[in-house]
Amino acid sequence: DYDTPWHIAAVGIIFAISTSSACFPMIVKTYPRLRVPTSFLFFARHFGTGVLLAAAFVHLLTEAFVSLTSKCLSDYWTKRYPSTAGAVCLGAILLVTLVEMIFSPNRHLIREKVQYIEELDESRSSQDEAVFHDFIENAKRQNYELDEIKKARKSRQSTRFQGAINESQEDLVQPQEMPNERKLKVTEVESNFESIPLSPEQKFQRMRVQVTMLEMGVLFHGIFIGMSLSVAVGMEFNMFLVAFGFHQLFEGLALGSRIAALPWPKGSKKPWLMCLSYGATAPVGQALGVATHSAYDPSSDTGLILVGIFNAISSGLLIYAALVELLSEDFLSDESWRVLRGARRSFAFFMVFLGAFLMSLVAAWA
């Protein structure tokens, strides 16, 4: 039998767990008087990376394949193209890559770099032409004949001619060497531009896009897993609720630690709203499940296709964010080798492994 009061109570339980876990890193950062160890955010950040990786591969992508290859669906999903989940996941990854290219702050740096090099190239070319023109005008004013210059050079009898020849050679050689010199300058400019760090504002915008992608990937599947929880009954519901509570706890800490890592303006409400939106998403799905438990069937064709496609999209968003934006930035970037060394780096990677292991373990029940 469907226990409506217990299912409604579960909505409040999941909301409390989700919201508190997502907000806790922000609370620690905002209120240092709580005396939470400073290493907590470091622990939560890297532990959360492992959680998000496991959520993407072990939970979402696996569930997407299970849903879209169910025997309840037509032959198209099970025989003709059973790779739909992988294709949708790949499409989501490519879409995120496109968005990153469009909004990347490096794009503006490259544009400035190209413009600067072109201006430098034009200015050096105009200098070449000016030097060569001055040499021709000087030769005309001195009224030197070519034969006389050659003869004077061989005999070295005239200091006046020798000096003129030396000056002429310097003037002639300079335009020929200028292109190589210009190439050297351009190369120097390119290397200087490549070493220009992002401004604090550009770093903030980049990190904000990363966190937004993470939250989108998490929120998409939160609604559907909440609905699935609300239509479960009996012992299955009890086990699902406990496992889902741990799922939301780990995922909330993972997302909240990334939100707290951003240098938000003082008094900004956006990070709190982002944490609250995470905390409310799964309960909204639960409430929808309670309201429609007699009509919504996760095993129906519509339910399987809808859940499978959205899980595949969510997995693509999380895979890109976790691998490209988080794992590579934290452990493979040049900056990471400056700020994360020795035992601290080993401990951080162990936290990633621990988060991935525990979240993968939860997949046995949720």
pLDDT at 334: 84
Kindly give, in sequence order, each residue whose CB lies less than 8 Å from that of residue 63, ignoring residues fewer than 6 positions away.
Answer: 307, 308, 311
Domain boundary among 139, 165, 194: 194
**DSSP structure string for 193-253:** HHTPPPPHHHHHHHHHHHHHHHHHHHHHHHHHHHHHHHH--HHHHHHHHHHHHHHHHHHHH
Domain boundary among 135, 166, 194: 194
Q: Provide the token pair at 155.
A: 């005999």
Could you tell me if 360 and 136 are in contact, meaning their C-beta atoms sit under 8 angstroms apart? no
Task: Give yes or no: residues 210 and 81 share one domain.
Answer: yes
User: Structurally, how many domains does the chain consist of?
Assistant: 2
In Å, what is the CA distance from 139 to each residue of 127, 142, 236, 262, 351?
Answer: 19, 5, 99, 67, 76
Q: Is residue 306 part of a domain?
A: yes
| Residue (of 167, 176, 102) closest to 141 by Cα position | 167
Task: Give yes or no: residues 127 and 187 share one domain.
Answer: yes
Task: Give yes or no: residues 342 and 290 share one domain.
Answer: yes
Task: Give yes or no: residues 172 and 49 share one domain.
Answer: no
Could you tell me if 93 and 319 are in contact, meaning their C-beta atoms sit under 8 angstroms apart? yes
Task: Give yes or no: residues 113 and 86 share one domain.
Answer: no
Q: Provide the token pair at 183.
A: 């190439």
- Supply the pTM of this predicted model: 0.68
pLDDT at 298: 80
| Residue (of 195, 202, 228) closest to 304 by Cα position | 228
Match 């669906």 to its residue by tokens: 73
Q: How far is 162 from 155, CA to CA, in rounded Å?
A: 10
pLDDT at 160: 46
Q: Is residue 103 part of a domain?
A: no
Q: Give residue 232's region: left, alpha or beta (phi > 0; psi -120 to 50).
A: beta
Q: Is residue 129 part of a domain?
A: yes
Mean pLDDT, consecutive 10-residue stretches, the chain (366 aa), reads 88 96 92 80 89 91 94 92 96 89 62 55 57 54 51 48 49 46 48 54 77 83 87 86 91 91 88 94 92 82 90 91 87 86 92 94 82
Task: Give yes or no: residues 73 and 214 share one domain.
Answer: yes
Task: Give yes or no: residues 320 and 222 share one domain.
Answer: yes
Domain boundary among 148, 178, 194: 194
pLDDT at 139: 52
Task: Give yes or no: residues 190 and 305 share one domain.
Answer: no
Q: Provide the token pair at 365.
A: 């029940």
Q: How far is 176 from 190, CA to CA, in rounded Å?
A: 23
Could you tell me if 255 and 24 are in contact, meaning their C-beta atoms sit under 8 angstroms apart? no
Q: Is residue 326 part of a domain?
A: yes
Could you tell me if 251 and 193 are in contact, meaning their C-beta atoms sit under 8 angstroms apart? no
pLDDT at 206: 77
pLDDT at 81: 94
Task: Give yes or no: residues 321 and 184 share one domain.
Answer: no
Task: Give yes or no: residues 357 and 228 share one domain.
Answer: yes
Task: Give yes or no: residues 250 and 157 share one domain.
Answer: no
Could you tell me if 239 and 10 are in contact, meaning their C-beta atoms sit under 8 angstroms apart? no
The DSSP symbol for 61 reads I
Q: Is residue 350 part of a domain?
A: yes
Could you tell me the residue range of the domain that residue 51 belongs to? 4-98+200-362
Q: Is residue 261 part of a domain?
A: yes
Q: Is residue 104 part of a domain?
A: no
Q: Is residue 65 part of a domain?
A: yes
Task: Give yes or no: residues 169 and 251 share one domain.
Answer: no
